[in-house]
């Protein structure tokens, strides 16, 4: 049995692709009218680390500086979207955990990028529906919709997409790296710490 199958949790979310500026403005307006709260609007620093064994183990270690805290996530079964799982926890400082991982486990930062995120919550705190609009520099913006609490709030995915005016957009179950690949972009190359031109593109300010 693959060791990865013993650990982690499955994600229960879909990604809505190819958002334009008008889509983002409409989403903000519709969610506000539905009673959703915009809980954050900030730039995340996202770093991927590797110690030479991640590809062999089909894992991805990521450190994400979010608003007020740092998220540490280990993605399992990284190459298989249907079997992908994760282990996540939060810390106060990212620099110390990166330094510790480099010193103790020989992890090296292989990608480093900043991506804007706008987040909303619809419904009560514990049972809310989470919406995250992510804006990476190399691809068009996309939105994550957490499906876990749709029924608890009286929605179906189809209903939500229609209300948001996104029913004609492509919706997929895929990680960030796989989404980049759909546009012919290698996530690990375009955001590599070895590249000097890791700057904003036309997509960020759409």
**Which pLDDT tens digit goes with each residue over 176-199?**
999 999 999 999 999 999 874 444
CB contact burial 157-182 (16+ within 10 A = b; e otherwise):
eeebbeebebeebeeeebbbbbbbee
Among 11-15, 20-24, 165-169, where is mean pLDDT lowest? 11-15
Quote the pLDDT of residue 206.
Answer: 46
> Domain count of the chain?
1
Q: What is the CATH number of the domain that holds 148?
A: 2.40.320.10
160: left (phi over 0), alpha (psi -120 to 50) or beta: alpha
- Is there a domain that residue 178 lies in? yes
- Paired tokens of 142: 């996309």
- Is there a domain that residue 31 lies in? yes
- Is there a domain that residue 167 lies in? yes
CA-wise closest residue to 57 among 132, 94, 133, 3: 3
**Which pLDDT tens digit goes with each residue over 47-59?**
999 988 777 778 8
String of DSSP letters for 52-71 = S-HHHHTEEEEEEEETTEEE
- Is there a domain that residue 80 lies in? yes
Domain range for 99: 11-190
């Amino acid at each position: 049995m693959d060791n990865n199958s013993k650990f982690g949790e499955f994600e229960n979310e879909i990604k809505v692709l190819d958002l334009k500026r008008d889509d983002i403005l409409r989403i903000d307006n519709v969610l506000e009218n539905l009673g959703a709260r915009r809980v954050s609007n900030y730039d995340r620093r996202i770093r991927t680390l590797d110690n030479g064994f991640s590809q062999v183990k089909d894992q991805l270690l990521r450190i994400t500086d979010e608003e007020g805290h740092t998220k540490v996530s280990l993605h399992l079964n990284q190459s298989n979207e249907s079997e992908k799982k994760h282990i996540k926890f939060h810390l106060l400082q990212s620099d110390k955990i990166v330094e510790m991982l480099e010193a103790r486990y020989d992890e090296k930062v292989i990608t480093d990028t900043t991506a804007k995120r706008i987040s909303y919550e619809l419904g009560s705190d514990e049972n809310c529906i989470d919406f995250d609009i992510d804006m990476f520099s190399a691809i068009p913006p996309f939105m994550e919709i957490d499906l876990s609490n749709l029924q608890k709030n009286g929605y179906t995915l189809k209903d939500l997409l229609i209300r948001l005016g996104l029913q004609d957009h492509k919706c997929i179950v895929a990680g960030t790296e796989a989404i980049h690949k759909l546009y012919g972009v290698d996530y690990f190359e375009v955001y590599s710490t070895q590249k000097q031109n890791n700057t904003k593109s036309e997509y960020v300010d759409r």
